[in-house]
Structure 1
Amino acid sequence: MPAPSPLILDDVVITRHSRPLVAVDARIAPGEVLTLMGPSGVGKSTLLAQVAGFLAPAFAATGRVRLGDDDLTDAPPERRRLGLLFQDPLLFPHLSVGGNLAFGLPAGGKRAERRRRVDEALTDIGLSGFAERAPETLSGGQRARVALMRVLLAEPRAMLLDEPFSRLDAALRDEMRRLVFGRVRARGLPTLMVTHDREDAEAAGGRVIELTARGARLETWRANATDDEETT
């Protein structure tokens, strides 16, 4: 596999009805988690949608999204190979746990090899023997672990996290934070997380960009600068 590349938001500016919503200029190193914090409505998830390639038509964006030298700005979502985790696990109810994980695997390969990888993934997250289980029989924490592993089996080049721990109780949040952040660091995946929970940011251990709603005023955070060099 090629060496991991940084995820770069090169002066990305998002507007709605010509009104500035959010602007970020940042370089996220392999294995780093950059956190965007702020209340609802300041553009956190909208920025994530632009990076992922499915920004709603109501919004407009300028700037470039890159993975190393690979410009993703105009690429369709399926070609960007970005892993997404949302508030809900979004497991397919018509597939077994093993079927959900197999869905994440790249197409092709022998059935026995695909099954081996699914079994290894389940063992890795403490769910050995759960391949034939239905998703609705799992606990919230178990569903979250399966969702994470399904994303990782797709071999993403970077990760996007949209409030991934907000639906879990306090004990499960701590467990999932350790699991998610440990995996992205081990795989060298540049990761962009949006959250309103400061404990998420503290657990991520990386830089934090705080977004605030200030009418039509456009603010740009230079996340690749040092703390005393950041500008508004």
Structure 2
Amino acid sequence: MRFAVIGDVHSNIFALDSVLKDIENKQVDFIISTGDLVGYMPFPNEVIEKIRASRILVIQGNHDKVIAQAAEVSDELIRNMSDVEVQKSASAAFTNWVITKENRAYLRNLPRQLRISSGRLKVLLVHGSPRMIGEYLYEDIEKLTELSKEVEEDIIICGHTHKPYHQIIDNKHFINAGSVGKPKHGSSQATYVIVTIEGDTVKSDIIEVNYEIESIIEAIKANPMIADELIPMLKRGL
């Protein structure tokens, strides 16, 4: 079994397009996503529609959950909000304002976790951790060791931290796909992971992809509802 893992696209359609194009050449069986399709950037509907058209298996991220459960935002409410209110909370006001009913329903119906298997090996896909959607799983040996005793799956794939890694603790593989749309690994490049399972052997390749970062920067500048403070973060991978 060989599959690609993407995550934390955060409404960055330019990064998503480049990553999916790169995956086309990797001969994978399927693509899965650790969630957080929306939040921060200006293109929530475009990202969701691209994900759906590409038949990607997706679980719900914490930002997806917020938008899924939120009420629709009226034009009047937006007009009465200050710039600070509009731009805070990962651009939630903008996302709630523009997202279609169909796409909100899609986010609402996403599963919290996904389980697949390859031979004797079991795979668990989560956004944050198996315990909580918003728990961060960094390369913290102590926390991963603790968690390895709580889960029965052999491979735990997560996102949320925006930092890719592959750690093996007590014969359990913890794999983080990093972030397509808002990377925090010290580089502007989008990241995703290719996971290859052959028998009892698990291999991961962390892939970095250049994308049209100037296009997303210009889109942010042109949209008063999106905070310009995102621009240096994108450029530096912070």
- Common fold by TM > 0.5: no
The TM-score with structure 1 as length reference comes to 0.31
Relative contact order, higher structure (CA 8 A, sep 6+): 1
